[in-house]
Amino acid sequence: MARMIDQIRASKLPSNMMQFAARGALQVPPAENIEILVYLARYNKVFGEVARMTLAGWDEKASLAAAGDPATAPEVLNYFISPDNVRPKLLPALLENPSVREAQIVKLAGSALRDTIDIMLKSPRVRSLRAALETLRSSPYLRQEESAELQKLLDAIPVAGTAQADVGSHDKAQDPAAAAGAVEKSEVPADAQPSEIAASESEEYSDATFGAEDETVFYYLQEHSVEIAAEGEKPFQAIGGMMDLLMPDSHAAETAEAPQPQAPAAATKPRVPAVPKAAEDPTKRVNTVQKINALDVKGRIQLALKGNKEERSILIRDGTKVVALAVLEAPKLSDGEVEKFASQKNVLEAVLRQIPLKRRFMKNYIVVRNLVANPRTPLDLGLGLMKNLLTADLKNLSANKEVSETIRKLALKMYKQKLETANKK
């Protein structure tokens, strides 16, 4: 008999049953109930929000049991330890769960706030992981005495080498699941590209963060099936026009560098020009555009989620909303790319509205600053983000003739207020 989660994945349940599922009210084992909720929270547009609320208030005892059980589905553990969903009371159990991968812990350390840092520093497993400790050490929320403690821990951990690799492989051999993983990884060629390694791991793990691009594509196409059907065979049309697309990213370069006081000095150095990256090989960009022109909507979505940086930089300008937004879901999307997207004038308004909805992006100050300074950013969005700007950037913004007068006036007002507050101290 098929499990209920399999019926939900196949969209075989009626709407009233889906409502029960999103509230955690189905008569299924506790472990499957949580797995269903996580699936709905991540991939279902209609019932996802209800499922997320249900998970946030899910029984603490049952949640703890799932968080600490190595047999819990990887997708559930990935959800619970995600920076957007992590619950402090579940974190100690998650950190010590051997089924939670080291890469997930490192990712959490990279966005950890004060309460999360406190918990991670008490974890025996975290204190033994060099990558996690190094990531925590770069946190702006770390106290001075904690930084010194982390340095001592790092000094005590030997740098990975042959001996350590041999010990690690011996330990893994005691665990059949780990041994199987070791066999799979040994089959990856030594000269394999990162994308090939990621693809080999995607068969075992469904979380897009660890290279499961195919999984990401499947669920994105499923979630946006109605929008994709509505677009039909709509061809690629670049916002700003094709000629603008084939030119270097001048819009992004100008906007990103304008507020930087060092910009004039940097401009005098021939090794750090504003444009050469795109100008190095114009033929490559032309060929990429031709490749994209030959794809339908679904093909462009797949490329947006699985492609390289060059392809993402073009598809973010796609006039088809469902394609452009897919770029922001790409597992390999870097913070530097998002910083550039936030400053571009030749993207859909929907792209600029989507960026602040992702907590990871909003933790990057440059992204916030570029959004506010972008004249294409919707006024309500820019006004809402201005409170996060530093005094110097407010001053620059108040003199930026490209943004609206409302933004300039409010920036000047906030700048004066911050100066007055600083002078009173």
In a shared domain, residues 260 and 115? no
In a shared domain, residues 206 and 241? no
In a shared domain, residues 186 and 268? no
In a shared domain, residues 161 and 245? no
Domain membership flag for residue 386: no
In a shared domain, residues 41 and 90? yes
In a shared domain, residues 15 and 156? yes
For residue 276, pLDDT over 70 is answered with no
Domain membership flag for residue 145: yes
Lowest mean pLDDT among 33-37, 106-110, 129-133, 214-218: 214-218
Model pLDDT for residues 397-410, shown as the tens digit of each residue = 999 999 999 999 99
Total domains, the chain:
2
For residue 184, pLDDT over 60 is answered with no
In a shared domain, residues 243 and 202? no
Long-range contacts of 124-133, Cβ-Cβ distance < 8 Å, separation of 24 or more: 124/96, 125/95, 125/96, 126/95, 127/153, 128/157, 129/102, 129/105, 130/154, 130/157, 130/159, 130/160, 131/102, 131/106, 132/102, 132/105, 132/106, 133/157
In a shared domain, residues 24 and 142? yes
In a shared domain, residues 292 and 159? no
For 62-80, give one letter per residue: b (16+ CB within 10 A) or e: ebbebbbeeebbbbbbbbb
Domain membership flag for residue 47: yes
Q: Among 305, 336, 353, which residue terminates a domain? A: 353
Domain range for residue 337? 237-353
> 238 forms bridges with which residues in the sheet?
318
Better pLDDT: 320 or 212: 320
Domain membership flag for residue 156: yes
In a shared domain, residues 307 and 255? yes
Domain membership flag for residue 224: no
In a shared domain, residues 269 and 323? yes
How much is the pTM?
Answer: 0.47
Q: Ranked by mean pLDDT, which of 38-52, 247-261, 273-287, 321-335 comes out on top?
A: 321-335
Domain membership flag for residue 258: yes
In a shared domain, residues 297 and 202? no
For residue 46, pLDDT over 80 is answered with yes
Q: Among 300, 332, 353, which residue terminates a domain? A: 353
Q: Residue 97: which pLDDT band, with cuts at 50, 70 and 90?
A: very high
